[in-house]
């Protein structure tokens, strides 16, 4: 949960005045079709993600009185298929203990907390703004709320907070899960420049177990929104620790790093000290996984960046979530990496594909628009090659704007260049060419792009290299060109339109 720094005179009156500002003209052309975005107002971190009785619950940081960050609530949306979302009533409102910052939710199947069997329990950070102004470093603490009707209504625990602040300025974003081996709840908490693990038998009384990361990983900014979960590779269980970081991401601003190691219920031990990133693009942050999904680990991130999240030119809402992504592990040489791919449920919105085979690209750009029947702004584009070389896919429009996506063989990097992809004046930090290292070593490669109005998500080499990027063209991109100075042969190039509840009708 990002804490925005505001002038010393900041108060709730600031937001009362801000919400009276005229709402910019609506931008329906920028509304995503198969990614979640709220109908209106501000949204950031995904929170409390939990699966229960066939429904995926997504809670999120929400300010219902404006289009920029404000006193945080928990918004709520639900889905049965991870592609179509229904926005629900606000779940948690600020109270006398503070604003409702980020956190997680669990299903208490054994009624350890005493709220009721299978109670849905939210564990979140209360942020006490008046206390912060006193500079006691005790303004953030962890609290509980519970629902006995599958997330429809919520009641806050009368004994809040359940984990007071020992005097740490940034003490937030609890991600809680049941540890079956230790038979206890484990809380993974962001504590300024490190992660602190706590345990509890009942979600109410917490014991500190250990700390991790003070001198490991990237430290360009404060550590936030962690997650801890097991994944299996070749029959062996490894633990993955996600740590979101702001600033200090791989392409400026916020980003999501991860560590792979072991966890014994008390302490996390990494395999090595190498810094790794779950997504190298500038626009995936605060990502965590759904609870109660068994061995399947499904990740969702906030599709923006704190460098410009308050300024992106959408209205009457700001910001969206990434595609839900299935996580896995892959070994390359002696190194183990996290992989992510769009969840299998995305297949249900894929329309009939147009496929080209053995496309030979040269330094002269080849226009594939007509051959692919290319058009629209919500689609998947996939390509494979037996020998990866330099190339660029160029999306263009009648306004002369273009988005370039490709691979630089000499640097061994995929890239997305949005420098000329539409207006960038809303932030000096927005325009740019952003790179993602290729982690695969085989000569053959595959690339999948998922485009949805103003975003592209790149998944290369089976999800080893991933990047998420926003862009805001004045007109939809209607042409697709392919160029390659090295003479790339594309074995197969596939274009499919994607449907979605907010999407324009598929022609």
User: Rg of the chain's alpha carbons, rounded to an integer?
Assistant: 22
Q: Are 167 and 140 in contact (CB under 8 A)?
A: no
Q: Residues 461, 465, 469, CA angle at the centre, nearest 5°?
A: 125
Return the closest-CA partner of residue 477 out of 390, 402, 387, 365.
402
Burial code (b: 16+ CB inside 10 Å, e: under 16) for 400-410 equals: ebbbbbbbebe
Active-site position among 45, 377, 390, 452: 45
DSSP per position, 28-71: GGG--SSS---SSEEEEEEEEEEEETTEEEEEEEEETT-SS--S
Catalytic residue check, 173: no
Region for 158 from its dihedrals, namely left if φ exceeds 0, alpha if ψ lies in -120 to 50, beta otherwise: alpha
Q: Are 89 and 106 in contact (CB under 8 A)?
A: no
For 411, list phi and psi in degrees, rounded to 5. Answer: -90, -10
Element (H, E) at 223: strand 222-233
Helix or strand or coil: residue 100? strand
How many C-beta atoms surround the C-beta of residue 295 within 10 A?
A: 8
Q: What is the DSSP letter of 131?
A: H
- Taking the mean position of all CA atoms in its chain, how far away is CA 267? 26
Q: Residues 265, 230, 244, CA angle at the centre, nearest 5°?
A: 90
Helix or strand or coil: residue 181? coil
Q: How far is the C-alpha of 345 from the C-alpha of 492, rounded, in Å?
A: 23
- Whether the bond into 299 is cis, omega within 30 of 0: no
Tokens of 47: 């929170």
Element (H, E) at 238: strand 236-246
Tokens of 160: 């809040």
Tokens of 352: 């009939």
Tokens of 80: 């049965």
Residues 6 or more apart in contact with residue 183 via CB below 8 angstroms: none
Q: How far is the C-alpha of 177 from the C-alpha of 165, rounded, in Å?
A: 21
Residues in the chain: 507
Tokens of 37: 């975005």
Q: Are 145 and 155 in contact (CB under 8 A)?
A: yes
242 strand-pairing partners: 227, 258
- Which residues are part of the catalytic machinery? 45
């Amino acid at each position: 949960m990002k804490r925005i720094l505001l002038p010393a005179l900041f108060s709730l009156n600031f937001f009362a005045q801000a919400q009276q500002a005229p709402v910019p003209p609506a931008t329906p052309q920028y509304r995503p079709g198969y990614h979640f975005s709220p109908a209106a107002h501000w949204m950031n971190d995904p929170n409390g993600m939990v699966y229960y009785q066939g429904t995926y619950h997504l809670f999120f940081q929400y300010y219902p009185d404006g289009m920029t960050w404000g006193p945080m609530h928990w918004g709520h949306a639900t889905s049965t298929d991870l592609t179509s979302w229904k926005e629900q009533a606000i779940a948690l409102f600020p109270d006398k203990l503070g604003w409702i910052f980020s956190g997680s939710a669990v299903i208490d199947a054994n009624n350890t907390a005493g709220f009721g069997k299978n109670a849905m329990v939210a564990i979140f950070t209360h942020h006490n703004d008046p206390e912060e102004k006193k500079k006691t470093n005790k303004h953030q603490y962890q609290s509980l709320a519970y629902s006995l009707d599958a997330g429809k209504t919520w009641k806050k625990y009368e004994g809040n907070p359940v984990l007071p602040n020992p005097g740490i300025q940034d003490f937030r974003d609890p991600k809680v899960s049941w540890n079956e081996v230790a038979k206890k709840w484990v809380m993974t908490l962001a504590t300024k420049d490190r992660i602190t693990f706590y345990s509890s038998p009942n979600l109410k009384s917490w014991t500190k177990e250990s700390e991790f990361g003070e001198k490991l990983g990237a430290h360009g900014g404060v550590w936030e929104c962690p997650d801890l979960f097991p994944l299996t590779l070749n029959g062996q269980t490894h633990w993955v620790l996600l740590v979101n970081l702001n600033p200090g991401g791989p392409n400026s601003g916020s980003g999501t790093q991860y560590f792979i190691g072991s966890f014994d219920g008390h302490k996390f031990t990494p395999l090595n000290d190498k810094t790794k990133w779950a997504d190298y693009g500038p626009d995936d942050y605060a990502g965590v996984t759904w609870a109660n999904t068994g061995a399947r680990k499904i990740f969702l991130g906030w599709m923006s960046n704190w460098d410009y999240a308050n300024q992106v030119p959408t209205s009457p809402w700001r910001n969206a979530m990434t595609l839900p992504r299935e996580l896995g592990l892959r070994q390359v040489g002696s190194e183990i990496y996290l992989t992510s791919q769009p969840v299998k449920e995305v297949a249900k919105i894929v329309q009939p594909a147009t496929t080209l085979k053995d496309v030979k690209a040269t330094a002269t750009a080849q226009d594939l628009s007509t051959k692919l029947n290319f058009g629209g702004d919500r689609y998947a584009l996939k390509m494979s090659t037996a020998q990866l070389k330099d190339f660029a896919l160029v999306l263009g429009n009648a306004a002369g704007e273009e988005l370039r996506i490709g691979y630089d063989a000499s640097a061994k990097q995929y890239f997305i260049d949005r420098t000329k992809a539409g207006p960038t004046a809303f932030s000096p930090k927005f325009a740019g060419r952003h790179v993602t290292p290729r982690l695969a070593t085989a000569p053959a490669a595959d690339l999948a792009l998922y485009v949805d109005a103003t975003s592209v998500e790149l998944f290369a080499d089976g999800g080893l290299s991933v990047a998420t990027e926003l862009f805001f063209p004045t007109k939809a991109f209607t042409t697709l060109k392919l160029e390659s100075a090295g003479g790339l042969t594309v074995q197969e190039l596939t274009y499919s339109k994607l449907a979605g509840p907010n999407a324009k009708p598929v022609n």
